[in-house]
């Protein structure tokens, strides 16, 4: 049965591939991105051309996750045409990388605005209709970086750890409304995320004052990521993440896991299993199991 799917961040990567995969299997897809008539006009046109050539039920909508009015307008357009969506995939994101101290507060705020507040804007725009329909699925694209920590990813970690907590609480609040919330936690994948990672402006030159041993270690880590992403045998094909989106969409409501790591996860999926039991024990201790759902 055809579903209505809304996806953010469809100009590249997981979002673009997911939009096409869902549409090609017969779903109604609203592929959203910012700058549809600006910086991403060519990418929007490519998606629309594919939809026309293949006769897909795929529309491209303007949605800047950093603009509340933009998120609300996109939701209004979706609701007017198709009613409450069956699935909302919060995929839009950015990854700031560099010495944590070197980022000024405005840069940290910008990182959080996209990866956390942006998700909240989209959820607020669609949730009233989804709750009224007593059904739906929200997939928030987190990262293994939301479950572990390494040097120079502190700003990004802050956003993804925050998204993890936000999503878990939202899941519990919505369980009695028939709306599932799931976190997908990709490892490193061959997308444009790495190539577009903002570095700190660092006008004061703080990063340069760090020891040479630190700099050398970070260069080694960067080389490791380059090796992994260039290895054709490594699990870094974005299709793996889209496969998981499809799998989660087709699962029975209420049975979906809270978290699912995918790709090169550095052991995060093993970490998630005992964490599920711990989460359940906390809810039980607070006598909240009647309204919350662990699932999976």
pLDDT per residue as tens digits for the range 41-68: 999 999 999 999 999 999 999 999 999 9
Query: In Å, how far are 6, 72, 106, 199 from 116, measured between CA atoms?
Result: 18, 17, 15, 19
**Distance from chain centroid for Cα 23:** 19
Residue by residue, DSSP assigns 236-272 as: --THHHHHHHHHHHHSPTT---SEEEESS-TTHHHHH
- Looking at the DSSP bridge assignments, the partners of residue 62 are 33
What CATH number was assigned to the domain covering residues 4-285?
3.40.50.720
Cα(50)–Cα(117) distance, integer angstroms: 31
pLDDT at 167: 98
DSSP string, 216-229: HHHHHHHHHHHHHH
Chain mean pLDDT for the chain = 95
Q: Which of 104, 95, 170, 88 shows the shortest CA–CA distance to 137?
A: 88
| 8 Å CB contact between 185 and 142 | yes
Sign of torsion over alpha carbons 274, 277, 282, 285: negative
Confidence of residue 294 (pLDDT cuts 50, 70, 90): low
What is the reported pLDDT for 129? 98
Instruction: Look at residue 209 in the predicted model and tell me its pLDDT.
Output: 96
Which tops the pLDDT comparison, 296 or 282?
282
Task: Give pLDDT tens digits for 178-225.
Answer: 999 999 999 999 877 667 789 999 999 999 999 999 999 999 998 988
With cut-offs at 50, 70 and 90, classify the pLDDT of residue 1. confident
Could you tell me the pLDDT band of residue 226, with boundaries at 50, 70 and 90?
Answer: confident
Residue 74's closest CA among 93, 88, 95, 91? 88
Question: Among residues 42, 54, 40, 39, which one has the least CA distance to residue 29?
Answer: 54
Average pLDDT for residues 146-167, to the nearest whole number? 97
Task: Kindly list the catalytic residues.
Answer: 11, 142, 156, 160
Domain ranges of the chain: 4-285
Q: What is the pLDDT of residue 293?
A: 67
Q: What is the DSSP letter of 175?
A: G
Structure confidence at residue 295 as a pLDDT band (50, 70, 90): low
pLDDT at 259 over 70: yes
Task: Please check the confidence at residue 149 and state whether its pLDDT lies above 70.
Answer: yes
């Amino acid at each position: 049965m055809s579903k209505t799917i809304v996806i953010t961040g469809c100009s590249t990567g997981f979002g673009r591939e997911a939009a096409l995969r869902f549409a090609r299997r017969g779903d109604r897809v609203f592929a959203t991105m910012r700058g549809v008539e600006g910086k991403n006009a060519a990418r929007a046109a490519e998606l629309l051309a594919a939809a026309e050539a293949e006769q897909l039920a795929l529309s491209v909508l303007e949605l800047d996750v950093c603009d509340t009015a933009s998120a609300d307008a996109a939701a209004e357009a979706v609701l007017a045409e198709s009613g409450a969506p069956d699935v909302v995939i919060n995929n839009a994101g950015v990854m700031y990388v560099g010495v944590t101290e070197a980022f000024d507060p405005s840069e940290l705020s910008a990182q959080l605005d996209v990866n956390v507040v942006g998700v909240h804007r989209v959820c607020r725009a669609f949730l009233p209709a989804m709750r009224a329909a007593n059904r739906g699925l929200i997939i928030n694209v987190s990262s293994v970086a939301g479950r572990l920590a390494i040097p120079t990813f502190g700003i990004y970690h802050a956003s993804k750890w925050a998204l993890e907590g936000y999503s878990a609480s939202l899941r519990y609040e919505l369980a009695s409304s028939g709306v599932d919330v799931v976190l997908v936690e990709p490892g490193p994948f061959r997308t444009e995320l790495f190539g577009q990672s903002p570095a700190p402006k660092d006008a004061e030159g703080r990063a340069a004052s760090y020891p040479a041993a630190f700099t050398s270690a970070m260069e080694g880590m960067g080389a490791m990521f380059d090796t992994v992403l260039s290895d054709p045998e490594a699990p870094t094909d974005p299709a793996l993440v889209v496969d998981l989106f499809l799998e989660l969409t087709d699962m029975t409501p209420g049975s979906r896991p809270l978290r699912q790591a995918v790709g090169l996860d550095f052991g995060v999926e093993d970490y998630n299993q005992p964490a599920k039991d711990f989460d359940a024990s906390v809810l039980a201790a607070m006598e909240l199991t009647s309204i919350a759902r662990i699932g999976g």
